[in-house]
């Protein structure tokens, strides 16, 4: 069904403890839209979310329709206060309480047993629910003004790179949702870390804004990362994190993720780009500032390549913030093949590599 999408400006800014939460007339009006079952895209500290009343099955259903999202890919419920947990979570294991205490508000999603009040539509038919408290003043103000947990996946068409700017949301969802709250670029740029807290050991189902190392320090013990094999098994079997089995973050042209260590990595990217150009392809590369500088020093001719700089290898936060925008920028060019530079998999690098590998449809080459 067509909708008249309006775009409203809201305050920009990052969450800061003790900061008065911005409640503007636009946020109050957006909360009304949500209470009436409508769809509102809003900024969070990770990416833009597409919100609906998470306890209203038909409102939630319209999220799946607007995004073209498979209905068995469950949504995350966003809350603004710890007290909001009681109505949606049946049991809060001690480790989960500890993680919430340390990382909320922040880019961490906890998978917990759900209560009856949470519709199966929200959880994709599972008896667990994913919950997080976002660290963004607009998101928190919107949730509080609405008075219900908001189901909010990323505000993009399913399969496309996630939106880190309001214009990305508009490009994907204009005419399909009711409101876009434009709060400027998001800070972190990759989604939350999803942790299954229903068993004895917490398991990372999706790496994200909070690193494995930080989680382990907080719980004072091991945190597992769901294995590659377990992820593969999702293609047929029951899914611990159903989202893992779907195509994600994909640019329009086929992409390849190139792994290795600089400077050999930079040489390999250059060789592959040259070979592709020789075959008549138009090549786009999303690479580090160091790669670009290296090619300059080596007098490598890059004039026929479309280069997107994702930031410095020494600053993974910068890279995380730029990868989705970079993939979308490549979509706005005429490139026919894309090469992506890898980063080390520690800290935020694990989440970045997870997204780049998915953008490449798991086509990975290198040492």
Mind giving me the DSSP string for 309-348? EEE-TT-HHHHHHHHHHHHHHHHTS--SEEEEE---SSTT
Partner whose footprint covers residue 150, from ligand AMP, Mg ion, none (CB < 5 to 8 Å by kind): none
Exposure class string for 162-183: b at 16+ Cβ within 10 A, else e: bbbbbebbbbbbeebbbbbbbb
- Alpha-carbon distance 312 to 103, whole Å? 26
Least Å from the CB of residue 114 to ligand AMP: 7
Q: Which of 123, 146, 164, 354 binds ligand AMP (CB under 6 A)?
A: 123
| φ, ψ for residue 165, nearest 5 deg | -140, 155
Q: What binding mask, one character per residue, do residues 237-256 give for ligand AMP by CB under 6 A, x or -?
A: ---xxxxx------------
User: Is residue 207 a contact point for ligand AMP (CB under 6 A)?
Assistant: no
Least Å from the CB of residue 355 to ligand AMP: 11
User: Is residue 154 a contact point for ligand AMP (CB under 6 A)?
Assistant: yes
Task: Note whether 321 and 184 are within 8 A (CB).
Answer: no
User: Is residue 351 a contact point for ligand AMP (CB under 6 A)?
Assistant: no
Least Å from the CB of residue 248 to Mg ion: 7
Task: Note whether 48 and 152 are within 8 A (CB).
Answer: no
Q: What is the Cβ-side half-sphere exposure of residue 207, based on CA atoms within 13 angstroms?
A: 26
Span of 212-220, 235-243, 273-281, 309-317 interacting with ligand AMP by CB under 6 A = 235-243
Least Å from the CB of residue 22 to ligand AMP: 24
Mind giving me the DSSP string for 173-206? HTTTSSEEEE--S-SS-S-PEEEE-SSSS-EEEE
Task: Note whether 34 and 177 are within 8 A (CB).
Answer: no
Q: Residue 150: helix, strand or coil by DSSP?
A: strand
User: Is residue 51 a contact point for ligand AMP (CB under 6 A)?
Assistant: no
| φ, ψ for residue 106, nearest 5 deg | 170, 180
Partner whose footprint covers residue 168, from Mg ion, ligand AMP, none (CB < 5 to 8 Å by kind): none
User: Is residue 46 a contact point for Mg ion (CB under 5 A)?
Assistant: no
| φ, ψ for residue 47, nearest 5 deg | -140, 175
Q: What is the DSSP letter of 278?
A: H
Q: Which of 206, 212, 337, 358 binds ligand AMP (CB under 6 A)?
A: 206
Residue placing its CB nearer to ligand AMP in the complex, 176 or 337? 176
Span of 53-61, 120-128, 141-149, 300-308 interacting with ligand AMP by CB under 6 A = 120-128
Q: Which of 41, 79, 194, 343 binds ligand AMP (CB under 6 A)?
A: 194
Q: What is the Cβ-side half-sphere exposure of residue 136, based on CA atoms within 13 angstroms?
A: 29
- Alpha-carbon distance 37 to 122, whole Å? 14
Q: Which two tokens stand for residue 317?
A: 């936060």
User: Is residue 259 a contact point for Mg ion (CB under 5 A)?
Assistant: no
Q: What is the DSSP letter of 108?
A: E
Q: Residue 255: helix, strand or coil by DSSP?
A: strand
Residue placing its CB nearer to ligand AMP in the complex, 145 or 244? 244
Q: Which of 39, 100, 118, 126 binds ligand AMP (CB under 6 A)?
A: 126
User: Is residue 74 a contact point for ligand AMP (CB under 6 A)?
Assistant: yes
Q: Which of 129, 287, 320, 327 binds ligand AMP (CB under 6 A)?
A: 129
User: Is residue 186 a contact point for Mg ion (CB under 5 A)?
Assistant: no
Q: Which of 182, 191, 214, 290 binds ligand AMP (CB under 6 A)?
A: 191
Task: Note whether 106 and 133 are within 8 A (CB).
Answer: yes
Residue placing its CB nearer to ligand AMP in the complex, 42 or 305? 42
Partner whose footprint covers residue 30, from Mg ion, ligand AMP, none (CB < 5 to 8 Å by kind): none
- Contacts with Mg ion in 123-162 (CB under 5 A)? 154
Binding interface with Mg ion (CB under 5 A) = 154
Binding interface with ligand AMP (CB under 6 A) = 73-76, 111, 123, 126, 128-130, 153-154, 191, 194, 205-206, 240-244
């Amino acid at each position: 069904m067509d909708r008249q999408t309006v775009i409203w400006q809201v305050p920009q800014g990052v969450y800061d403890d003790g900061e008065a939460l911005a409640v503007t007339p636009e946020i109050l009006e957006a909360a009304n839209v949500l209470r009436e079952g409508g769809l509102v895209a809003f900024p969070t500290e990770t990416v833009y979310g597409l919100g609906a009343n998470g306890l209203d099955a038909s409102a939630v259903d319209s999220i799946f329709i607007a995004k073209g999202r498979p209905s068995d890919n469950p949504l995350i419920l966003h809350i603004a206060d710890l007290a909001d947990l009681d109505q949606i979570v049946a049991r809060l294991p001690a480790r989960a309480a500890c993680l919430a205490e340390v990382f909320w508000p922040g880019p961490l999603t906890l998978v917990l047993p759900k209560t009856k009040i949470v519709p199966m539509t929200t959880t994709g038919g599972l008896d667990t629910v994913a919950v997080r408290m976002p660290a963004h003043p607009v998101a928190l103000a919107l949730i509080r003004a609405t008075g219900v947990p908001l189901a909010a996946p990323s505000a993009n068409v399913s399969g496309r790179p996630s939106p880190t700017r309001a214009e990305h949301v508009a490009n994907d969802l204009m005419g399909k949702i009711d409101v876009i709250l434009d709060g400027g670029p998001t800070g972190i740029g990759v989604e939350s870390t999803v942790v299954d807290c229903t068993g004895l050991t917490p398991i990372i189902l999706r790496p994200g804004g909070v690193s494995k190392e930080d989680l382990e320090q907080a719980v004072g013990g091991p945190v597992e990362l769901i294995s590659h094999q377990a992820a593969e098994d999702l293609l047929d079997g029951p899914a611990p994190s159903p989202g893992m089995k779907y195509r994600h973050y994909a640019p329009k042209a086929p992409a390849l993720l190139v792994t290795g260590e600089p400077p050999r990595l930079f040489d390999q990217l250059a060789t592959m780009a040259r070979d592709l150009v020789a075959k008549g392809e138009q090549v786009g590369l999303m690479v580090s500032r160091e790669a670009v500088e290296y090619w300059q020093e080596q007098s490598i001719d890059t004039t026929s390549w479309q280069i997107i700089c994702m930031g410095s290898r020494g600053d993974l936060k910068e890279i995380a913030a730029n990868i989705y925008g970079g993939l979308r920028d490549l979509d706005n060019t005429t490139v026919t093949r894309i090469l992506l530079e890898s980063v080390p998999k520690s800290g935020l690098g694990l989440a970045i590599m997870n997204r780049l590998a998915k953008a490449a449809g798991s086509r990975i080459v290198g040492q």
